[in-house]
Amino acid sequence: MRGWGLNEWVAVASALIAIASFVFNWIVVRRQTALQTEALKAQMDSDVMAWGSECIQAFTRAAWLSKSYGKMSAEDFERHRTVTLSEISGLADKGRLFFPNNLRKGGRGDGVSRAFRGGRPFVLNPLVFCCHALEQMKPEDEEDAGEVQFFVDCRREFVSELQHYLDPRRRQEELRRLGLASSQSKEESFADSLKLAVALESLYPGVLKQNGDEGWARNVTRAQSGERRKA
């Protein structure tokens, strides 16, 4: 290297610049590719999320209907039941556009339409089971806590299956890796939720524990104890 002239040093510097430029461009292209992939998946998932939102609202209406025995006329009850049943049945079929049946051995065979052959995907089961339940409801029945809970359980199972498909945790992690995640910290989010929990307990003492939110009930107790100590 001692005998190198200006040309040699220029050549080495040019090579180093080229390598650095290549690495920089590779990083930029990789990030852009990841962004494009994430944007494409988000676009594809947006229709699924819109459909899922409709389903969640329909489950809520079914649960409301199961609480309405004796609170409306038989004609009104039957009308609401028919409308809700038709809506959920349609949403189940619409879901088959996103989640096709698994054509595994043991599923439904050639005697049914092609979209209904094979095994039904798990995410559609809550919708179909909800339809079965709605078909059995009669205006003269009495309110049944188990029936109400069934519709709530259908909604929760549906949300769980849809969340598993959409995988929002993976998306959040990917956005965080790309530097596009929300700037609000978990501590800020916890503080905001705690304010709501404290306000709820102030309005309805014991409601958190009553509804299974023991963790937040403990958080509220600790927060209130801290305020009393400060006072």
Cα torsion 181, 182, 187, 188 to 10°: value is 180
C-alpha of 36 from chain center: 22
> In the prediction, which pLDDT does 231 show?
44
Average pLDDT score, the chain: 83
Question: Each residue of 20-61: pLDDT tens digit?
Answer: 887 877 777 776 676 666 666 667 788 899 999 999 999 999
What pLDDT band is residue 119 in, cutting at 50, 70 and 90?
Answer: confident
Of the chain, the percentage scoring pLDDT greater than 90 comes to 45
DSSP string of 161-216, one letter each residue: HHHHHH-HHHHHHHHHHTT-S-S--HHHHHHHHHHHHHHHHHHSTTHHHHTT-HHH
What pLDDT band is residue 18 in, cutting at 50, 70 and 90?
Answer: confident
What pLDDT band is residue 173 in, cutting at 50, 70 and 90?
Answer: confident
Question: Each residue of 87-113: pLDDT tens digit?
Answer: 999 999 999 999 998 876 555 666 778
